[in-house]
């Protein structure tokens, strides 16, 4: 989605902001812009460009000096991608500049009023109303002007404002869209994502919804949109700046797939308790008595996180014998769900900022539910909003499509299921068996990654397909769903995922030589049933790629993955299919890290 980066200090601001924008490129965007000033300058200088950050960089004049500035990458919501619609937006006098993430819901109404008052709009964006509201405010200070403007606004925002008459400061505000302050030595940074800050400082303050801040070179203060001071406690970011670099890989996706053995090692580290054959999850804030009182578990997430949640629900039901299911958070929040006090709600999100998930959490909290977060980004909105939870410790995931976070989230769910299971009826020997299985995962992942060349060859064969079918049964079904999503997202090949058991109920009609099927065929209690599905496909001359624990004779190709404990098999079976999607997209010449129309974190509805 959109990205914000800002700086105030003594350094030359333009290169610094452009570097920050590059670090936000992964969020997906269509245009970018920058506005700068300095204490001695007579006004604001702005450059905007449709396209990538390099297009903006090419337009920035050689003499573009300043020490204060804000910049933005836009992901179009109101108005097509264009130079005019790119942020920052300026008022008619060119004194006020605003960059904004989020959506102003009453923009049409506000625009009509402003137009009736003679204001001329230069863009089609919702953001521009905010600029004019700030510019027209009669308040004395910039803080009051922004506060007054925001009072008219309904919707979500992460916003940064500069004013030529107040060139010693940047004023920022947050409501529903992340704003993070970075504290430096006699300099301050602001961004919508810590990715843009970590190469300069690891001391950060995350604004809460309804909070504003004034940034000056040597100081900052935070306060509510009503004006009362708030306490900002800086925290230290644990991720190194280098974790955001490509590290010798051609794409972030490849880097992140390759990191999975280490990432899984991290999610396990320090959590296993061999003495009681269980795991410690201190952050859950759920004691044994409370855990025993849970009647149901409901997992909420979107996209890949939802798929991880589906596997999580199966693990919880299987190991802890608590009825559990997963639902897209985007649907849940709109259907007026019955909220049950004995249900444990679990919100899953890599970014911790996905608006649909956050809104579901807020609605649940409002109704008195207990909500846990399973999140990757430390200190993110969902992590802070939840009553407790666990971090998945995958490290920064830059590629728009999620890979290592999916794997780590599923492992995190295995830990949660084991923890709940051992508090309830899971035996010591089963606990021990699963712990042994978990410990094997990093080495088994490394083994799978070694088969990349073989997977690449298969992918090149499938690269021309118009459409592909993915099937799996029970534990294999969410793996099929996730694999088909991965393929669609980066190769743009149409893909369907079905429970293998549903084939006969309709999708079998699609099977023909031109529609390859990817089948998840674990060595579990459903092996023979899965094999029967392969027979049915073969009888219709369908091509089959099986992901299995041993060669499948009905399949044209089998990717053999190492066997683990049956409950943990889905963790490993998804990994070769990430590589399949990757190499298919690569063979088709796709822009893998920046798939069309998609953004890394979806902070709008
Ligand atoms: O940050 P989140 O995990 O909440 O994001 C949820 C989805 O938007 C995300 O998983 C999306 O489906 C990715 N593009 C998957 O590759």
Which CATH number characterizes residue 182's domain? 3.60.20.10
List the one residue out of 569, 263, 592, 580 whose CA is nearest residue 453. Answer: 580
Q: Assess whether 240 and 376 both reside in one domain.
A: no
Q: Assess whether 268 and 338 both reside in one domain.
A: yes
Query: Where among 219, 244, 269 does a domain terminate?
Result: 244
**Closest approach atom of ligand 1 to CA 351:** 1
pLDDT in tens, 569-588: 999 999 999 999 999 999 99
Domain extent for 485: 451-593
Residue 379 has pLDDT above 90, yes or no: no
pLDDT in tens, 408-430: 999 999 999 999 999 999 999 99
> Could you tell me the two tokens for 555?
């399949």
Q: Assess whether 237 and 293 both reside in one domain.
A: no
More confidently predicted of 422 and 245: 422
The answer to the question of residue 601 being in a domain is: no
Which residue, by CA, sits nearest to atom 12 of ligand 1? 303
**Closest approach atom of ligand 1 to CA 405:** 3
Asked whether 130 and 153 are in contact (CB, 8 A), the reply is yes
List the one residue out of 58, 38, 37 whose CA is nearest residue 48. Answer: 58
Burial string for 12-39 (b: 16+ CB within 10 Å, else e) reads bbbebbbebbbbbbbbbbbbbbbbbbbe
Average pLDDT over residues 483-510: 94
Residue 354 has a pLDDT of: 92
2 in active site: yes
Query: Where among 217, 244, 271 does a domain terminate?
Result: 244
Q: Assess whether 7 and 146 both reside in one domain.
A: yes
Query: Where among 189, 221, 244 does a domain terminate?
Result: 244
Average pLDDT over residues 507-530: 94
Does the CB atom of residue 278 touch ligand 1 within 6 A? no
The answer to the question of residue 603 being in a domain is: no
Residue 1 has pLDDT above 70, yes or no: no
% of the chain at pLDDT higher than 70: 99
Q: Mean pLDDT over all residues of the chain?
A: 94
Q: Assess whether 525 and 538 both reside in one domain.
A: yes
Q: Assess whether 376 and 277 both reside in one domain.
A: yes
User: pLDDT band at residue 333, thresholds of 50, 70 and 90?
Assistant: confident
Q: Assess whether 360 and 303 both reside in one domain.
A: yes
Residue 141 has a pLDDT of: 97
**Could you tell me which residues are beta bridge partners of residue 180?**
191, 206
409 Cα to the center of ligand 1, angstroms = 12
The answer to the question of residue 104 being in a domain is: yes
Q: Assess whether 222 and 319 both reside in one domain.
A: no
Q: Assess whether 292 and 166 both reside in one domain.
A: no
Average pLDDT over residues 105-133: 94
pLDDT in tens, 386-406: 999 999 999 999 899 999 999
The answer to the question of residue 100 being in a domain is: yes
Q: Which of 303, 355, 401 to mutate to test the pocket of ligand 1 (most atoms within 8 A of CB)?
A: 303
The number of folded domains in the chain is 3
pLDDT in tens, 26-57: 666 788 999 999 888 779 999 999 988 899 99
307 Cα to the center of ligand 1, angstroms = 10
User: pLDDT band at residue 74, thresholds of 50, 70 and 90?
Assistant: confident
User: pLDDT band at residue 20, thresholds of 50, 70 and 90?
Assistant: very high
pLDDT in tens, 457-490: 999 999 989 999 999 999 999 999 999 999 999 9
pLDDT in tens, 178-202: 899 999 999 999 999 888 998 899 8
304 Cα to the center of ligand 1, angstroms = 5
Q: Which of 305, 348, 400, 490 to mutate to test the pocket of ligand 1 (most atoms within 8 A of CB)?
A: 305
Residue 450 has a pLDDT of: 97
> Could you tell me the two tokens for 467?
């459409």
401 Cα to the center of ligand 1, angstroms = 7
Cis peptide before 554, with omega less than 30 degrees from 0? no
Distance CA 136, CA 92 (A): 10
Q: Assess whether 226 and 79 both reside in one domain.
A: yes
CATH of the domain at 520: 3.40.50.10490
The answer to the question of residue 101 being in a domain is: yes
Q: Assess whether 224 and 302 both reside in one domain.
A: no
Residue 538 has a pLDDT of: 93
List the one residue out of 480, 350, 357, 482 whose CA is nearest residue 405. Answer: 350
Residue 27 has a pLDDT of: 67
Q: Assess whether 53 and 138 both reside in one domain.
A: yes
Does the CB atom of residue 409 touch ligand 1 within 6 A? no
């Amino acid at each position: 989605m959109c990205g914000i980066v800002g700086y105030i200090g003594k350094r030359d601001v333009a290169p610094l902001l452009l570097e920050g924008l590059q670090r936000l490129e992964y969020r997906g965007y269509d245009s970018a812009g920058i506005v700068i000033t300095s204490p001695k300058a007579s006004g604001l200088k702005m450059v905007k460009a449709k396209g990538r950050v390099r297009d903006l960089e090419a337009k920035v004049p050689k003499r573009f000096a300043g020490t204060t500035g804000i910049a933005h990458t836009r992901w179009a919501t109101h108005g097509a991608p264009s130079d005019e619609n790119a942020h920052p937006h300026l008022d008619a006098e060119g004194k006020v500049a605003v960059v904004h993430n989020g959506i102003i819901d009453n923009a049409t109404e506000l625009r009509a009023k402003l137009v009736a008052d003679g204001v001329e709009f230069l863009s089609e964006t919702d953001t521009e109303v905010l600029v004019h509201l700030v510019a027209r405010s009669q308040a004395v200070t910039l803080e009051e002007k922004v506060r007054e403007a925001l009072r008219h606004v309904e919707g979500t925002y992460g916003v940064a404002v500069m004013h030529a008459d107040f060139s010693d400061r940047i004023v920022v505000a947050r409501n529903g869209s992340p704003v993070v302050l970075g504290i430096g030595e006699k300099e301050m940074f602001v961004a919508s994502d810590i990715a843009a800050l970590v190469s300069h400082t690891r001391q950060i303050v995350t604004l809460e919804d309804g909070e504003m801040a004034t940034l000056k070179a040597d100081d900052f203060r935070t306060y509510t949109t009503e004006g009362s001071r708030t306490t900002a406690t800086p925290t230290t970011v644990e991720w190194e700046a280098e974790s955001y670099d490509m590290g010798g890989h051609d794409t972030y996706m490849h880097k992140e797939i390759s990191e999975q053995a280490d990432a899984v090692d991290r999610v396990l580290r320090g959590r296993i308790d061999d003495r009681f054959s269980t795991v410690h999850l201190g952050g859950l804030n759920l004691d044994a008595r409370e855990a025993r009182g849970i009647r149901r578990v409901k997992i909420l997430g979107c996209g890949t996180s939802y798929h991880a949640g589906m596997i999580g629900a199966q693990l919880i039901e299987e190991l802890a014998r608590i009825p559990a299911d997963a639902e897209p958070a985007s649907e849940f929040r709109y259907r007026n769900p019955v909220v049950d006090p004995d249900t444990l709600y679990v919100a899953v999100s890599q970014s911790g900022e996905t608006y649909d998930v956050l809104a579901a959490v807020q609605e649940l909290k409002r109704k008195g539910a207990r909500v846990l977060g399973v999140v990757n980004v430390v200190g993110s909105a969902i992590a802070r909003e939840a009553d407790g939870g666990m971090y998945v410790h995958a490290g920064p995931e830059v590629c728009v499509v999620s890979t290592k976070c999916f794997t780590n989230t599923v492992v995190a769910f295995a830990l949660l299921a084991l923890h709940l299971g051992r508090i309830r009826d899971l035996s010591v020997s089963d606990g021990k068996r699963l712990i042994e299985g978990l410990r094997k995962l990093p080495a088994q992942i490394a083994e799978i990654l070694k088969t990349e060349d073989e997977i690449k060859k298969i992918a090149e064969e499938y690269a021309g397909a118009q459409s592909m079918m993915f099937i799996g049964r029970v534990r294999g079904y969410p793996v099929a769903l996730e694999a088909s999503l991965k393929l669609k997202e980066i190769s743009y090949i149409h893909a369907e995922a079905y429970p293998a058991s549903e084939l006969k109920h309709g999708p079998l009609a699609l099977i023909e030589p031109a529609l390859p099927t990817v089948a998840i065929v674990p060595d579990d209690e459903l092996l023979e049933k899965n094999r029967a599905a392969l027979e049915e496909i073969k009888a219709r001359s369908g091509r089959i790629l099986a992901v299995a624990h041993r060669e499948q004779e009905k399949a044209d190709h089998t990717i053999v993955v190492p066997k683990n404990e049956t409950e943990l098999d889905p963790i490993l079976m998804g990994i070769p299919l990430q590589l399949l999607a990757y190499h298919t997209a690569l063979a088709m010449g796709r822009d893998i890290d920046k798939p069309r129309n998609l953004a890394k974190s979806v902070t709008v509805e």
